[in-house]
Structure 1
Amino acid sequence: MKAFLFALLAAVLCVEPGHLLVCFTCEDASSNWACLTPVACDKGENHCVTTYFSTSVGSGSGQTISKGCASLCPNAGINLGIAAASVTCCDSFLCNISGASSVKASYTVMATGILASIIYILRVGV
Structure 2
Amino acid sequence: MRRLALITAAALCLTAPALAQDTEAEPDAPENERSLMEEGARMFLEGILREMEPALRDLEGMAGEIEPALRDFAQEMGPAFAELLGKVDDLSNYEMPEMLPNGDIIIRRKEPLDPETPLDPELDIEPGEEIEI
> TM class by shorter-chain length?
under 0.3
Higher-RCO chain (CA-CA 8 Å, sequence separation at least 6): 1
Which of structures 1 and 2 has the bigger CA Rg? 2
Identify, as 1 or 2, the structure richer in strand: 1
TM-score scaled by length of structure 1: 0.24
